[in-house]
Structure 1
């Protein structure tokens, strides 16, 4: 039996489709029943006969911080894909991020140990990998994390979660960790998912930024995860990035695929520095949720380029081009939009 945590998220939903379509016995954790509809909708993208595939999943209502409920979910499980996480860059969400990303991961690791799970795959992030002083130098899996850097709260907690996973390897659990870049996938058009970027670009964005970061298609992520779990590779981490691309180039590619006008004005560093300070002031005075942190503003103009050769060499893996990924996602976005309006 395979257990998937975070089964109703972007990665989890696409992973479940690949596992079920491959004939695997799968159990998945969910927290709110209404989120199951999104998984079924994702399945409908890829199969006309998606209902039986969705019904083949054994769903368990649980929370990764509710250990008694998790005990039931782990019965008979031999392989675990830990996809559950809280994604936020709001500084005031730090303790919530710690609770879910670090403590929740510690619970999963402990249960893997106590239930003699054969192998664990943890979905981390490139946010948990260090950076070079030279922006043109490629970042790889050996680039050291610097705790003295002004890291985002999300990055800190994903790095902390990785430490829990590495602890598990010392206690006998074979593990692989994947560190994806910005994951591109369809079906999740709101919230912290990349789908929200497609929606915002379609609705009209005025500003672009020139920072560079790594992007990857969601199916590249899940296929890499499955191949790593089925391989003899253990206790290693792998960067999952198809291409390093500027935010401006990404915004223009999406705008072109959606047939909308791309952003015309550059958000220069001074403007971003002013914006995050005003955002902080609104939060302090009016209690508004943070929408731009200092770390996010800096990231928007930072150049971070990632080396994907370790995974390519280990699995003879070929990534989907970002252009192809964008075209597919935009097509599904427009179809969903027409259906919602009709």
Structure 2
């Protein structure tokens, strides 16, 4: 059996979709938190385990009888506050999955990490070298991924074969739950005539490429490895205009000064917090778009056959998918 945790998420449901092209549904099992909202994946698998990665008993029930486990469950946060829910899901959840895999003799665990857990020099290529000190990063999500990476190292030392993949910002079709990337796409494909952007860039990778790399990692001859799964650095203006072009959105694009974006992000984020919502553009997320995002993917290319799609094609496919599924989103 093959288990995918977090199967309702963007990476998780895409992974199940791609696995179903290779393996019969009788070999596929998922762990999700709710019996609702699984219509797009329920017919692709033979077993749906309802549970939470924070609960060891739930995880153990899901892992039992599995030879391979893909752990994609997690919470992504653009804030600085390390909440109990974030820690327990991303760190304790990782520990529970590792412990259950060890107990039930899983052959290999493929773990969805993040480039946020890597050391980031101001210039040059970013490699798979892990950051070890959570005090060196500001974001709460990054801190949890560093701590989860430490759990991975402990699991390897105890004898579990763990492949850890580090995707950059994931984008692509099948984004049913509304990731931060989809919110950005929704804004730039909207009918607003004036669209704002600011100086900044990041590295976006196609979710289908992430899934393909993870599937390749499952049967790879290389065990206990770390792989960056990323694409090319693109600036926000380029992304915005590309989304508008594929959406047939006739807009004027206005660049805002960075200091104004920080002020705007601070204000809007404060308003969102009052209503218990998360804002895509806040001072921390803006700062992420100012830093180095030149990731070295050569190891994944050499060992996993990683071949990232052209970003133009990814954005076009994503926009088309969003238009075709607007009644379901």
Shared fold per TM-score greater than 0.5? yes
Separation in structure 1 between the aligned mates of residue 232 and residue 37 of structure 2, nearest angstrom = 31
Instruction: Sort the Cα spacing of 1:194 and 1:273 in 2 relative to 1 into closer, same or farther, 3 A.
Output: closer
Check conservation: 2:122, 2:291, Cα contact below 8 A: no
Partner of 2:48: 59
- Runs of 4 or more consecutive aligned structure 1 residues displaced over 6 Å after TM superposition: none
Where structure 2 has 5 or more consecutive residues not aligned to the other structure, the ranges are none
Partner of 1:181: 168
Aligned match of 2:236 in 247, 252, 257? Answer: 247
Q: How many residues align?
A: 324
Separation in structure 1 between the aligned mates of residue 2 and residue 264 of structure 2, nearest angstrom = 45
Where structure 1 has 5 or more consecutive residues not aligned to the other structure, the ranges are 41-53
Partner of 2:308: 319
Question: 1:8-27 alignment to 2 at 5 Å?
Answer: 8-24=8-24, 25-27=27-29
Separation in structure 1 between the aligned mates of residue 176 and residue 260 of structure 2, nearest angstrom = 27
Measured after TM superposition, the shift of residue 72 of structure 1 is 1.7
Which structure shows the bigger proportion of residues in helix conformation? 1
TM-score by length of 2: 0.90
SS at match of 1:91: coil
Out of 87-96 and 109-118, give the one that drifted further.
87-96
Measured after TM superposition, the shift of residue 224 of structure 1 is 0.5
Instruction: Sort the Cα spacing of 1:65 and 1:311 in 2 relative to 1 into closer, same or farther, 3 A.
Output: same
Partner of 2:144: 157
Measured after TM superposition, the shift of residue 59 of structure 1 is 0.8
Separation in structure 1 between the aligned mates of residue 130 and residue 44 of structure 2, nearest angstrom = 43
Question: 1:173-212 alignment to 2 at 5 Å?
Answer: 173-188=160-175, 191-203=178-190, 204=192, 206-212=195-201
Separation in structure 1 between the aligned mates of residue 318 and residue 266 of structure 2, nearest angstrom = 34
Separation in structure 2 between the aligned mates of residue 92 and residue 115 of structure 1, nearest angstrom = 35
Measured after TM superposition, the shift of residue 121 of structure 1 is 0.4
TM-score by length of 1: 0.87
Cα offsets for 1:31-79 (capped at 9, x unmatched): 1122202436xxxxxxxxxxxxx25431111110122222221221111
Measured after TM superposition, the shift of residue 282 of structure 1 is 4.1
Cα offsets for 1:290-330 (capped at 9, x unmatched): 52443212113334211111111123332211111111111
Question: 1:33-72 alignment to 2 at 5 Å?
Answer: 33-39=35-41, 54-72=43-61
SS at match of 2:53: coil
Instruction: Sort the Cα spacing of 1:101 and 1:312 in 2 relative to 1 into closer, same or farther, 3 A.
Output: same
Separation in structure 2 between the aligned mates of residue 143 and residue 262 of structure 1, nearest angstrom = 41
Check conservation: 1:64, 1:70, Cα contact below 8 A: yes
C-alpha RMSD over aligned residues: 2.3
